[in-house]
Amino acid sequence: MTMQEDQIEQPDEGVTPARVMSAPLPIVAIVGRPNVGKSTLFNRLVGKKTAIVHDEPGVTRDRHYSDVTSRGRRYTLVDTGGFDPESDDPMRQGIKRQIDVAISEADVIVCVLDASQPPTPADHAELDLLRRAGKPVIYCANKADSQRAEMELSDLYRLGAKDIIPFSALHGRRIDELEGAIVSALPPLPPEPQEGAEPDEAIRVAIVGRPNAGKSSLVNRLLGEDRLIVDSRPGTTRDAIDTRVTKGKHSFLFIDTAGIRRKAKVTKEESVVEAVSVLHAIRAMERAEVVVLLSDAFEGVAEQDAKILGLAVDRARAVVIGLNKADLLDKKAFAKAEENARDKLSFVPWAPIVPLSAKTGRGVGNLLSTITRVATAFRTRVGTGELNRFFEQVLEHRPPPTSGGRAPRLYYITQAETSPPLFVVMASAPEQLHFSYQRYVQNQLRKHFGFEGVPVRVKYKPRRRRGD
């Protein structure tokens, strides 16, 4: 491996880096009456088919969430069910309540109308609701598949909307214009921390999991007081609650969240509260550095636990798995529970598992130590010299495999970001580097520098030659 000092970005050695933590993403909610193409628009903006699309009105019953990047801005897009205030159908009434929730939580609302039909009483009721919401609203008309269709929007303007963007979600017509309007309506980015400003050194920890896993009991155990309501009935916690705890030299900000249930376990009456709980849990994860998935060791890790943890991994947060109620199991039974956890959560083999009992306090100290260790790794910046000495050893032990008759060359590595760590490798023909070798480098970084519980990101870029 050939390296020259002027080729390598040299961060200040020994300097505590500024943490690169993203602010919670703004929320953009898509609303409209049934069968106007909201889910098709959702899929178009997201770039993949994640919402169910069907000609039958009312197929989308629950809100769908997806993170979107457009024109350099990221936001969370929310798809909602069809707005039909005149219906007496209990399911429709439940959808109406969920739409109310989406509107109240949203930073920007995209109101989808139907360009192929005149306005309906539901459209009038919907626009009245949006005007009262006091939120930025982008009015758009789907199914405007031609310029002629655009010319026939006069009836929709009688609804009182000042500007309506005609588009076709199916064909992608004028989607760019709609995307631009959404990005322009987003709230401004929060200001960058001022140089020299003292950051809050408290480790931000979101505690997530299914209902009745013992999340509130754990926070109360850490506090030594019953600040949070603890009840054997699932779903007691409805909102995210911040609790600051100091143990020894370390300060923690714990964010307790409501339990996230499988949809099959949610009644129509509870659906609105559960929808809010999911959104609050997502926002809690975005505020956190470390996400603790608290699972019931006695009941075992379930598919829903994996889905919840997947939300944290998608947001590149450090993760710790806590197996609560371990006091109810003997040594053999707990070993089986831990094996089950590893099997169900196989996509995060690097996440530490901590047995504990919020009730008795057993293992809680170990959990705090693990959170501290993982958070330290999450914030760590490795010196460039040390990093490249390590990288030389990796290449000597296992060079990149040959692809297309020749092996890609890896020149040097730098760390571009912390929280979570992002490494950049300069290479020749990085597109030819096999994913298994990329995973090997990632695993070696984690093993050598102690990135336990941390999502290590590695990007490969082509090396620019001087004069390019």
Is residue 336 in some structural domain? yes
Backbone conformation region of residue 85, classed left if phi is above 0, alpha if psi is from -120 to 50, else beta: alpha
Domain shared by 139 and 107, yes or no? yes
Q: Is the same domain home to 272 and 123?
A: no
Looking at residue 187, what DSSP letter applies? P
CATH of the domain at 407: 3.30.300.20
Do residue 34 and residue 59 come from a single domain?
A: yes
Check whether residue 218 and residue 341 sit in a common domain: yes
Q: Structure tokens of 448?
A: 């050598």
Q: Are residues 49 and 89 in the same domain?
A: yes
Regarding whether 213 and 346 lie in a shared domain, the answer is yes
Q: What is the CA radius of gyration of the chain?
A: 25
Q: What domain count does the chain have? A: 3
Q: Which residues are annotated as a binding site?
A: 32-39, 79-83, 142-145, 209-216, 256-260, 324-327
320 with 416, same domain: the answer is no
pTM for the predicted model, two decimal places: 0.64
**Both tokens assigned to 424:** 């950049």
The last residue of one of the domains, among 379, 397, 431, is: 379
Domain's final residue, options 350, 379, 408: 379
Q: Are residues 397 and 313 in the same domain?
A: no
> Helix, strand, or coil here: 217?
helix
Give the range of the structural domain holding residue 107, as residue numbers without chain letter.
27-185
9 occurs within a structural domain: no
Main-chain dihedrals φ then ψ at residue 109, nearest 5 degrees: -120, 130
Query: Do 305 and 211 reside in the same domain of the chain?
Result: yes
Q: Do residue 333 and residue 209 come from a single domain?
A: yes
**3-state secondary structure at position 277:** helix
Residue 210 forms part of a structural domain = yes
271-255-68 Cα angle (round to 5): 65
Q: Per residue of the chain (468 residues), give pLDDT as tens.
A: 433 333 333 333 333 333 445 567 888 989 988 889 988 999 999 885 444 444 444 333 344 677 889 998 989 888 877 776 666 555 555 556 667 767 777 899 999 999 888 888 888 888 888 888 889 999 999 998 887 777 778 878 888 888 899 999 999 999 999 999 999 999 998 765 554 444 557 899 999 888 788 888 888 888 775 443 333 334 333 344 577 888 888 888 888 665 454 444 444 444 444 455 566 677 788 889 999 999 999 999 988 788 888 889 988 999 999 999 999 999 999 999 999 999 999 999 999 999 999 999 999 999 999 999 999 999 999 999 999 999 999 999 999 988 767 788 999 999 999 999 999 999 988 888 899 999 999 999 999 999 999 999 999 999 766 555
Domain check: are 234 and 349 in the same one? yes
| Separation of alpha carbons 133 and 29, rounded Å | 13
Task: Report yes or no: 115 and 152 within 8 Å, Cβ to Cβ.
Answer: yes
Whichever domain contains 154, its CATH number is 3.40.50.300
My answer on whether 348 and 239 are in the same domain is: yes
SS3 298: coil
Residue 78 exposed, middle or buried by CB count within 10 Å (0-12, 13-18, 19+): buried
Q: Give the end of a domain, one of 358, 379, 400.
A: 379
Q: Which residue ranges are tagged as binding site for GTP?
A: 32-39, 79-83, 142-145, 209-216, 256-260, 324-327
